[in-house]
Structure 1
Amino acid sequence: MYLSLLAVLILGISAGTWQVSRSIAAIRHRRRLAQQHGCQAPPSLPQKDKFLGTDVSFEEYCKFRSNSYLEMLKERFDSCGHTWACTSMGRTSVSTIDIENIKTILVTDSQLYGLGRTRSSVLGTTLDHGIFTSEGNEWKFLRRMSKPGFSASHVNLEPHIQSLVSQIPSDGSPVDLQPLFHDLTLYNATSIFWGQDAVNMLDAQQQSLSRRINAAICKAFEHTQEVMVFGPMAKLLQSSSTEKAIKLVYGFIFDNSNAAFTLKNHPATQHIVHDKTVSGIFYDQFGAHGFDTAHIQIRQMFMAAEGTTAETLTHLFLLLSRHPRVLDSLRAEITSQLPNGTIPTASHLNSKLEYMNACVKEVLRLYPTVPFNNRVALQDTVLPRGGGPDGLSPIVVPAGSEISLPHYPLYRRKDIFGDDAEEFVPERWLSSDDEKSSDSWSKQSENYLPFSIGKRACPGRQIALETVRYATVRLIQHFPYICDASGGRPWQENCGATLQSKHGAVVSMRGKMEFDISIDSGYGSDNVS
């Protein structure tokens, strides 16, 4: 007994000594790094509890629940500078909106930063394990497999647009476009992923299913944001309604994956599976690796794709309804380039409709669909800026530190985007060649990263942009006059993994034009380069 206790005591002392030695070695290593690179400490967020950061965590929780989290973040950067450190939930974290730091983390030294346990394991309770939560060779494989699916060449939006148009009153009656845009992207996503429309946009019962699926995805993504903010503690915030929402979405995706897999492998359809409308572009890519692989990977991509495009459209039309001058200019461009309701081609969408593209850029700047990015330092490393009184000296980032890269405060920096940084001004993206060579233009373009940068940049960039552009053109062709019908209610965030408008986009639309439209001539492979 005595020997056993002695052994335990010796083991404990040895472990403690080893841990202390390890900590001392780490401190010395960081000091050498600081001396080698001329590092200085970054500003610290004022906080009372410097050990666990409970005061910071409580403030974040309250702001998150009151739908004012992003504005709180912006105020912190206004107060502390473009890079600062704090302790939250017992974790050391660095937050930065300095583009040099962002490029270092996502591009130059990306191998020194990982997703961390928060994103890869805890976040997996919502999104499961797949392309957005994997790293290394597994991620490379999944990225390579999914790449062919992120092409706009197989997208035919026109049937979905016609269904959407039929649900919008043309007499000026108020309508909330947000659920309609989520319907649109849900139907479009099911076509892309599974090659079939999971629900009929005009069928009342199936439309109800669509709304429940969209609400469930929103609820699930609210929990993902809790995970990003509160880490493993977010499990304590997961309610039964969140679990039900995740279960509903998973069931919907499973049913459609199973139907597509059965159809693709059924002898009666073998002669037509070469037609990409039968089993879906993405399912064709992953299906060869078995049902489980295809289903799990599509689950992540479907949930990510459904909400981002819908909310971009929601915010765009909300802003257009409140900025008649911008709407007038956009309408004039569309009428000039596409007279008599001509269906746009890829050439129109990508280059000829310059003002429309500026509007899309501007809405993604003001309301980035993915408001956060984050990484974890895999080893002691250095960021090029953020230290010292002027914030221009390098800083040491200890191994294990969480690094937050919030887009919302970055895109509202007045030193980059001007004094009107918080206003909807598409013209900021329309400049002459001489203006584009100026320092101010270069700073503005360099700091605009709506789809991120580096090897993990969003692969769905082109298909998302063309979907937004096409839907915008077609809706304005049908409804040239749009005004706000919300009663002047100010915008409020609903911040999950995607940024949503809490109160939707309640508008009044008039002036429905009558065109002779052939759905077969819709936006399809013959119209896209």
Structure 2
Amino acid sequence: MTFNMRLLSPFSFLLGLVVLVAYKVFSSIREKRRQHAEAARRGCSPCPVLPRKDLFGITQFRESIRATRADRGPKYVAEKLDSMSKDIHTIQVRVLDYDLNVTRDPENVRACFSSQSNDFDIGVHRTQSWKPLLGVGIFTSQGEAWKHSRALVRPQFAKEQVSDLDLAERHTRDLTNKIRAGSDGWTETMDLQPLFYNFALDTVTEFLFGYSVHAQNPDARAALPTVRGFDEPNLLELGVNFDKGKRWIEERGAFYKWYWLISSKDFDYRCREIHKLVDWFVYCRLQGGAKNTDPTLPDGRKKFILLHELAKDTQDPLELRNESLSLLFAGRDTVGALLGWVFYFLARHPHVYSKLRSIVLDQFGSSPTSEISFQQLKACSYITHVINETFRVAAVIPLNERVAVRDTTLPRGGGPDGSRPIFIPKGRQVLIATYAMQHRADIWGEDVEEFRPERWEEGRKVGFEFIPFGAGTRSCLGQQFSHTETDYIIVRFCQRFDRIENMDPGPIRLCHAIENRSGSGVQVRLHEAEDKS
């Protein structure tokens, strides 16, 4: 009897494997037939399918990973769409064992974010990919859990909180103090990008926790308050931990349903170190209880600390960590990347910088210590044009995604001319190719690849073809905060420096790890103005 069982075991395993494969094949055929019938019932037509180089699309999947690692991921997506036709804006792609759609059509974007937003949400695989770092919060939750997060966080971004410029001024001084000119007025060649990320980290940690980590100027760092049961977190590696942690979740996200294959002890370490920092501030707040009041500013106003406001609505330490960490994550990366790209393009277009500086001096004066009001910043339209054009060309968030929560449609992409609706079955991922959409010549003109802020002076009314902060109910709550910090830095730089010179002759490199930053940094020389007073 034992002998027969030994003989049967391999056979049973093989038989079971054959049955499983047969079941999967049968189920796939049945589901495709159902989808075809449902598409016909809804009056949909198929959209173009990206040709595969092998049975499962593994070659193209590897190509996309290589392109991202070579700092050209967003361009790769645009090139794949163009390879079908410059007139084709929505395609279907087979990757491993699943299908997805990629679109750069504003009408389809409108459907995903607004007009049919109830049919779409972020995907469970994105949630699982990001959760080890960010937990369950406003960027990773769905449905009712997301509504709860949004309701908790949204009131804290009132205009009067994000328009307070004292925060920007303090950390702008720390930034500009790092820039030293020689006797000829010129600085040495320097990379501004790390300075901008440090600035963003310093401002957002003070906004969130009431305590700046002073990445820019560690000597200004005050002693952390004592928290029982906690080792003091390592502030020196915070930026590095964020960057390496984001790299891991970007790779996990690229593998979609196979995200769990991408894991490492390094990723676990980065997550632990970041959590340690945020938990420190959360428990410091909870330990203080009602006595832990917001400090008073010199003019008598209470200093706004977002974590303290959140703690009035929840005392759950994990919820406080997840929500504040999500905002820390977004606030640092969006502002840091945007500032880097602004000066990347200004260095390559000195005539734009000259015009911008002339306008700034006219509206704000030449002194880098002059008073600036929020209303003045918002009234300077050319700064807004420069920022918009930066967002358009570089696409700080070059790719977004939604997943169908039920069988639904997208309004365009099907039929011979792409004007027919297409069927999107439940569970299908839709990638919104923001970078590719913002580089469509039929929308933006034949000079689409040119950095030209003046295009925004031409009465352009934009819709869903330009969504730098997303759109609809999930649009970024911190967009006003990001704009204000960026506006302020631009004004102070223009007041202090009359010229900016590009020192990087290489082509643009799009380093995409959630946000998109320059892969070569922002290599420039700056000339100190003589007319500042």
**Structure 2 letter corresponding to 1:314:** G
User: Offset at 1:421?
Assistant: 0.9
Describe the SS at the equivalent of 1:119: helix
1:427 to 442, 445, 454: 454
In the alignment, structure 1 residue 294 sits paired with structure 2 residue 320:
yes
2:494 to 462, 476, 489: 476
The alignment covers a number of residue pairs equal to 494
User: Offset at 1:204?
Assistant: 5.6
For 1:384, the equivalent position in structure 2 comes to 411
Once residues 500 and 84 of structure 1 are traced to their aligned partners in structure 2, the CA distance between those partners, rounded to angstroms, is: 27
Once residues 163 and 410 of structure 2 are traced to their aligned partners in structure 1, the CA distance between those partners, rounded to angstroms, is: 40
- Unaligned 5+ residue runs, structure 1? 2-10, 517-529
Once residues 494 and 56 of structure 1 are traced to their aligned partners in structure 2, the CA distance between those partners, rounded to angstroms, is: 19
For 2:339, the equivalent position in structure 1 comes to 313
For 1:120, the equivalent position in structure 2 comes to 127
User: Offset at 1:244?
Assistant: 2.7
C-alpha contact (below 8 Å) 1:195/1:276 kept by paired residues? no
C-alpha contact (below 8 Å) 1:145/1:286 kept by paired residues? no
For 1:153, the equivalent position in structure 2 comes to 163
For 1:506, the equivalent position in structure 2 comes to 523
For 2:53, the equivalent position in structure 1 comes to 48
Describe the SS at the equivalent of 2:245: helix
User: Offset at 1:292?
Assistant: 2.4
Once residues 408 and 101 of structure 2 are traced to their aligned partners in structure 1, the CA distance between those partners, rounded to angstroms, is: 13
Once residues 213 and 428 of structure 1 are traced to their aligned partners in structure 2, the CA distance between those partners, rounded to angstroms, is: 39
1:465 to 479, 483, 495: 483
Q: TM-score, normalised by structure 1?
A: 0.85
User: Offset at 1:112?
Assistant: 1.2
In the alignment, structure 1 residue 345 sits paired with structure 2 residue 373:
yes
C-alpha contact (below 8 Å) 2:92/2:100 kept by paired residues? yes
Once residues 344 and 138 of structure 2 are traced to their aligned partners in structure 1, the CA distance between those partners, rounded to angstroms, is: 32
Once residues 263 and 54 of structure 2 are traced to their aligned partners in structure 1, the CA distance between those partners, rounded to angstroms, is: 25
RMSD: 3.1
User: Offset at 1:416?
Assistant: 0.5
In the alignment, structure 1 residue 87 sits paired with structure 2 residue 133:
no
User: Offset at 1:21?
Assistant: 9.3
C-alpha contact (below 8 Å) 1:183/1:210 kept by paired residues? no
Q: For residues 64-143 of structure 1, what are the structure 2 equivalents within 5 Å?
A: 64-80=68-84, 81-143=88-150
Describe the SS at the equivalent of 1:93: strand
**Structure 2 letter corresponding to 1:195:** G
Once residues 413 and 458 of structure 1 are traced to their aligned partners in structure 2, the CA distance between those partners, rounded to angstroms, is: 24
For 1:360, the equivalent position in structure 2 comes to 387
User: Offset at 1:92?
Assistant: 0.8
1:283 to 300, 308, 317: 308
1:404 to 431, 449, 460: 431
Once residues 119 and 470 of structure 2 are traced to their aligned partners in structure 1, the CA distance between those partners, rounded to angstroms, is: 17
Greater mean alpha carbon deviation, residues 96-105 or residues 194-203: 194-203
Q: 1:396 to 1:318 in 2, by over 3 A?
A: same
Q: 1:493 to 1:17 in 2, by over 3 A?
A: closer
Q: 1:240 to 1:26 in 2, by over 3 A?
A: closer
Describe the SS at the equivalent of 1:300: helix
For 1:524, the equivalent position in structure 2 comes to none
Q: 1:292 to 1:276 in 2, by over 3 A?
A: farther
Greater helix proportion: 1
Q: Residue by residue, what CA displacement relative to the aligned partner does 1:309-336 show, whole Å, maximum 9, x if unpaired?
A: 1110001001101101100110110011
2:189 to 174, 189, 197: 174
Q: For residues 213-224 of structure 1, what are the structure 2 equivalents within 5 Å?
A: 213-224=238-249
User: Offset at 1:64?
Assistant: 2.1
Over the matched positions of the two proteins, sequence identity in percent amounts to 25
Once residues 200 and 78 of structure 1 are traced to their aligned partners in structure 2, the CA distance between those partners, rounded to angstroms, is: 42
C-alpha contact (below 8 Å) 1:484/1:508 kept by paired residues? yes
Q: For residues 201-280 of structure 1, what are the structure 2 equivalents within 5 Å?
A: 201-203=216-218, 212-263=237-288, 265=289, 267=291, 269-270=292-293, 280=305
For 1:8, the equivalent position in structure 2 comes to none
**Structure 2 letter corresponding to 1:190:** T
Q: 1:299 to 1:13 in 2, by over 3 A?
A: same
**Structure 2 letter corresponding to 1:107:** S
C-alpha contact (below 8 Å) 2:152/2:313 kept by paired residues? no
C-alpha contact (below 8 Å) 1:170/1:512 kept by paired residues? no
User: Offset at 1:128?
Assistant: 1.6
**Structure 2 letter corresponding to 1:346:** F
C-alpha contact (below 8 Å) 1:196/1:279 kept by paired residues? no
User: Offset at 1:68?
Assistant: 2.0
Describe the SS at the equivalent of 1:371: coil
For 1:519, the equivalent position in structure 2 comes to none
User: Offset at 1:13?
Assistant: 13
For 1:375, the equivalent position in structure 2 comes to 402
Once residues 238 and 173 of structure 2 are traced to their aligned partners in structure 1, the CA distance between those partners, rounded to angstroms, is: 22
C-alpha contact (below 8 Å) 1:44/1:84 kept by paired residues? yes
Q: 1:277 to 1:181 in 2, by over 3 A?
A: farther
**Structure 2 letter corresponding to 1:222:** R
C-alpha contact (below 8 Å) 2:198/2:215 kept by paired residues? no
User: Offset at 1:491?
Assistant: 2.1
- Unaligned 5+ residue runs, structure 2? 2-15, 223-233
